[in-house]
Chains A and B, each alone.
Chain A
């Protein structure tokens, strides 16, 4: 962590990523600038959650829902609202509905999709309204980029917020440094919204690199980390998406992008900001480029972040945090 006062041309970026719908993590992200004395906030991709948790009203007045893989019964509005808050902090979307509605939605993928979209929109709008006065009061610049798990309408919500600047697919200038960003990733076993082949990923990033005046002082804010580094190690999966174990231990494998690695090695930017692999918390060097993945523990309500001190267009220090 850096001292709270600036030193000359130094400035500090707080970068966090993969909050996956966790309200408490987003609120901590907004509060991080004041807490750590950072000048700039950058929120990496995968802003949205993965699961809707229906809370269905029963005929006896109680509610049935699921928590930690088990059916749970809730009694009364007090228990329901406490449960909703807890679920929201973990990054999931609670939704009170009748048992009939729940049963109907079970067999209706399109209905589930609509429900997801409305809940994601609602959550993001709540966040933006919550952040607006706080970011304005602090005078802190706040940037965000989506990730491969985020639907495309997320861009429109973040970009239109007025307090958070959307970075996706473009180059912006940040205190003399150029930042290029993309939330697209290489292919994953889950066939997510923003993934493509390594070649396509390269073609998405190259036009932004061509816009850079000084690639060697730039920041590559690319959701997927470079392949073959400590930042992209995660459990190897079999064909049925089960972790592979040997001798009782989970086998780890690289899931990062070879194209991202190649581009970083070729253009040697000052800094790489990555996420995507929650287990890949760490700092790696590729030549002169410092690459950071703060990892994610969003479901615990803990915000993993990184404080990056920049001076004279160079990375002076990186400190990983768990707030």
Chain B
């Protein structure tokens, strides 16, 4: 028997009574899934090139604020239903089972898409710019052209698919190996980011201009003062800085919002966090705030070192094919910082940092769908074979293989076609999260029996349960970003083919559910009863 320190309860010897895990662990999990590097790459490339008049600082803060509201709503869900498996668990406790399954299916597809997205950008943002920069800095044309070749469709597909396969093999070989590689890559990512920031601090504007002119003057067709030549060419081709523009700033926020969603991914491991309220709050909110701080510092340093006009011009020129001003590969921060530093070693370290952040996404975005697929199988809404777990490795190999196949399919689509707008699936997933957050508004009233056991059950704001308030605000934030994506034709948009994808994915989820429902019915199994609460009579 014991009285726990500082608490007013008595415990007896019983299994399962464990001390709390470090809240830092949840923070690392969440910030790893924000993929700070990918976010930085997108924001510093698409921001100045596409959203003329958009303000990176304001856009990022807007996305951070919205994600904080969504995060608060998700924290209420995960502390009330502290299970592993994410929104599938929340949905099955609060809504019509076919809808809960469909939302889970949509969400899982979206994260799988983003694992593939990361796999594609492993080459585009990490490897190709790094190899090109190494070739330029070391003046080795063969390496330089190899970098440009690597950015092509087939190498992008090959490296992306290969990365997914490696990620899947790591997952299939056991969770310990997965944890180990994630830890190594997280360390590499953090070190690379520190080197990136340090390089920017150590490089003055004059040094950057000097290095850029020296290395790119002969490679671009804009004169020996390549730095100013790029700005002139881009201005001649239509780039301008029209001053602060709210509309463009809000659209630009989509690119900060995309990676920030990862900050709430610890809802998928809710059952594995003992001090769930504190851990999830610090993990989710800390990851959002931490990422925003790193981005804001990076923007300031990049603008100081490179100049905002130059950054806008060089990215605009690349995206719009401005003659003579386009860099050999996409001018992501990896390329530009490496060129500014004029150092092979620093280029490699910076690139490894970005690659590390991107990698953190890849196996985890396979793991997330895999867990959901196993849960569907246990609930009989997916074939039994998909829930099978290997006896030796304890990993669900059929589910991993299915996720891998889907991921490679997405890599192919992203590499060889432009059919999918860049973040179309975020639009779909954000809608799914918005519906779950909306359900959270009513949960304290509809499922009082569960909610009253939540550690937040007694917390109210103006007499309204805190979960209703937080989920309500989260729902509004999610819907605002859904609309933001809907009207941003560059990121997602509402072209007919985008709408087809949106509708098709939801309809697909319902179709799968009903096909499984009918199949199980023939086996004498009523899937509908899986989550119905047993009445107490």
Number of A interface residues at 8 Å Cβ cutoff, please give it: 91
Stretch of B49-57, B269-277, B322-330, B342-350 on the interface side: B269-277
A192's partner among B13, B20, B380 (CB-CB below 8 A) is: B13
Report A257-297 CB contacts with B as 1/0, cut-off 8 Å.
Answer: 00000000000000000001011011110000000000001
Cβ of A3 within 8 Å of any chain B Cβ, yes or no, is: yes
The verdict on B22 contacting chain A, using a C-beta distance below 8 Å, is yes
- Encoded as 1 (CB less than 8 Å from any A CB) or 0, chain B from 1 to 41 comes to 11100011111111111111110011111101000000000
- Identify B9's interface contact among A53, A89, A109, A323, CB under 8 A: A53
Contact A247 B536 (CB under 8 A): no
Give the complex CA separation of A252 and B21 in angstroms: 13
Contact indicator A50/B12 (Cβ below 8 Å): yes
Tell me whether A56 is interfacial, beta carbon within 8 Å.
Answer: yes
A66 proximity list for chain B (CB < 8 A): 7-9
Known: A116-B12, A248-B27. A242 touches B18 (CB 8 A): yes
Q: Of B176, B269, B277, B529, which one neighbours A251 at CB under 8 angstroms? A: B176
Q: Are B175 and A249 in contact (CB under 8 A)?
A: yes
CB <8 Å contact, B8 and A64:
yes
Beta-carbon contact of A247 and B179 below 8 Å: yes
The answer to whether A27 touches B26, judged by C-beta atoms less than 8 angstroms apart, is: no
**Which of A185, A283, A309 has the most chain B CB within a 10 Å cutoff?**
A283
A261 to B516, CA, bound (A): 33
Q: How far is the CB of B128 from the nearest CB of chain A, in Å?
A: 27
Asked if A113 meets B11 with Cβ closer than 8 Å, knowing A2-B525, A248-B182, A249-B269, the reply is no
A245 contacts the other chain (CB 8 A): yes
Expressed in whole angstroms, the minimum distance between the Cβ of A64 and any Cβ of chain B is 7
Stretch in contact with the other chain, from A31-39, A168-176, A199-207, A208-216:
A31-39
Shortest Cβ distance from A22 into B: residue: B453
A31-B535, A321-B530 are contacts. A249–B182 as well, Cβ < 8 Å?
A: yes
Q: Cβ of B27: which chain A residues have Cβ within 8 Å of it?
A: 248
B205 at the interface (CB under 8 A from A): no
CB distance from A22 to the nearest CB of B (A): 10
Taking a contact as CB atoms under 8 Å apart, the answer to whether A250 and B529 are in contact is no
How far apart are the CA atoms of A52 and B3 in the complex, in Å?
10
Residue A144 lies at the interface, judged by CB distance under 8 Å to chain B: no
Residues in A with CB closer than 8 Å to B449 are: 24, 89, 301
Q: Does A303 contact B (CB under 8 A)?
A: yes
Is there a chain A Cβ closer than 8 Å to B246's Cβ? no
Contacting pair A190 B13 (CB below 8 A):
yes
Which residues of A are found within 8 Å of B183, using beta-carbon distances? 246-247
Evaluate contact between B14 and A190: CB separation under 8 angstroms: yes
Question: A299 near B: Cβ within 8 Å?
Answer: yes
A271 CB to nearest B CB, Å: 16
**Within 8 Å CB of B17, what residues of A?**
50, 190, 241
Task: Find chain A residues with CB under 8 A from B83 CB.
Answer: 297
Q: Beyond A90-B453, A192-B14, A251-B179, is A31–B394 a contact (Cβ under 8 Å)? A: no
Among A71, A230, A283, A299, point to the contact of B453 (Cβ < 8 A).
A299
Report Cα–Cα, A237/B269, bound state, in Å: 17
- Report the bound CA distance from A135 to B199 in whole Å: 74
Residues on A with C-beta less than 8 A from B378 are 281-283, 320
CA distance A28 to B535 in the complex (A): 7
Chain A residues with CB under 8 A of B62: none
Is A300 within 8 A of B450, CB to CB? yes
Please state if A1 and B525 are interface contacts (CB–CB under 8 Å): yes
Is B245's CB within 8 Å of the partner chain A?
no
Known interface pairs A1-B525, A90-B453, A245-B22. Does A193 touch B13 (Cβ–Cβ under 8 Å)?
yes
B320 close to chain A: CB less than 8 A: no
User: Which residues of the partner chain A approach B532 to less than 8 Å between Cβ atoms?
Assistant: 35, 323
Interface SS, A side: mixed
Within 8 A of A (CB), among B180-204: 180-183, 186
B389 at the binding interface (Cβ < 8 Å) = yes
Pick from B8, B29, B176, B453: contact of A65, CB under 8 Å: B8
Q: Which of A1, A53, A149, A189 has the most CB of B within 10 A?
A: A1
Q: Please indicate the chain A residues that have their CB under 8 angstroms from the CB of B379 in the complex.
A: 320
With A116-B12, A284-B389 already in contact, the answer to whether A323 and B534 are too (CB < 8 A) is yes
Question: Given the known A-B contacts A69-B7, A113-B12, are A31 and B536 also in contact in the complex, defined by CB atoms under 8 Å?
Answer: yes
Which residues in B have their C-beta under 8 angstroms from that of A228?
391, 394
**Cα of A105 to Cα of B378 in the assembled complex, Å:** 45
Number of interface residues of B (CB under 8 A): 76
Supposing A1-B529, A249-B182, A251-B175 touch, asked if A278 and B16 sit within 8 A by C-beta, the answer is yes
B276's nearest neighbour on chain A, judged by CB, is A68
Contacts of B455 in A (CB 8 A): 67-70
Contact of A86 among B32, B452, B523 (CB under 8 A): B452
Q: Which residues of B contact A112 (CB under 8 A)?
A: 1, 3, 10, 12
12 example contacts (A-B, Cβ-Cβ < 8 A) are as follows A28-B533, A28-B534, A31-B534, A50-B16, A51-B12, A115-B10, A192-B15, A243-B18, A248-B29, A249-B179, A250-B269, A276-B15
- A188 CB to closest chain B CB (Å) equals 5
Picked from A109, A250, A299, A300, the residue with its CB within 8 Å of the CB of B21 is A250
Chain B residues, Cβ within 8 Å of A90:
453
Q: Is the CB of A245 within 8 A of B13?
A: no
CB distance from A273 to the nearest CB of B (A): 17
B430 at the A interface (CB under 8 A): no
Contacts A51-B11, A106-B3 given; does A248 touch B450 at CB 8 Å: no
| Best-surrounded residue of A46, A50, A109, A191 (most CB of chain B within 10 A) | A50
Of B18, B181, B524, B535, the residue contacting A241 (CB under 8 A) is B18
Q: Report whether A246 and B14 are in contact in the complex, using a CB–CB cutoff of 8 Å.
A: no
| Residues on the A chain within 8 Å of B178, using CB | 249
Is the pair A247, B32 in contact by a Cβ cutoff of 8 Å? yes
Using A149-B15, A190-B14 as known contacts, say yes or no to A35 and B534 having CB atoms under 8 A apart. yes
**Residue-by-residue, is B240-270 near A (CB-CB < 8 Å gives 1, otherwise 0)?**
0000000000000000000000000000010
Interface members, chain B 101-156 (any A CB < 8 Å): none
> Smallest CB-CB separation from B180: which chain A residue?
A246
Q: Judge if B477 is at the interface, Cβ distance under 8 Å.
A: no
- Chain A residues contacting B180 (CB-CB under 8 Å) are 246-247
User: Does B526 have its Cβ within 8 Å of any Cβ on chain A?
Assistant: yes
Instruction: State in angstroms the CA–CA spacing of A145 and B176 once bound together.
Output: 35
A71 touches B535 (CB 8 A): no
A50-B12, A116-B12, A247-B32 known; A28 and B536 CB under 8 Å? Answer: yes
Residue in A3, A7, A46, A322 with the greatest tally of chain B CB atoms within 10 Å: A322
One digit per residue, 1 when the CB lies within 8 angstroms of any chain B CB and 0 when it does not, for chain A 34-64 equals 1110000000001000111110100000001
Contact A134 B537 (CB under 8 A): yes
From B394, B453, B524, B529, A321 is in contact (CB under 8 Å) with B529
Q: Tell whether A148 is near chain B: CB-to-CB under 8 Å.
A: yes
- Tell me if B68 is interfacial: C-beta within 8 Å of chain A: no
Write out, one digit per residue, whether chain A residues 69-80 have a CB within 8 A of any chain B CB (1) or not (0).
111100000000
CB contact between B272 and one of A28, A113, A189, A243 (< 8 Å): that residue: A243
The answer on a CB contact under 8 Å between A250 and B272 is: yes
Given A31-B535, A228-B391, A248-B29, A235 and B10 touching (CB < 8 A)?
Answer: no
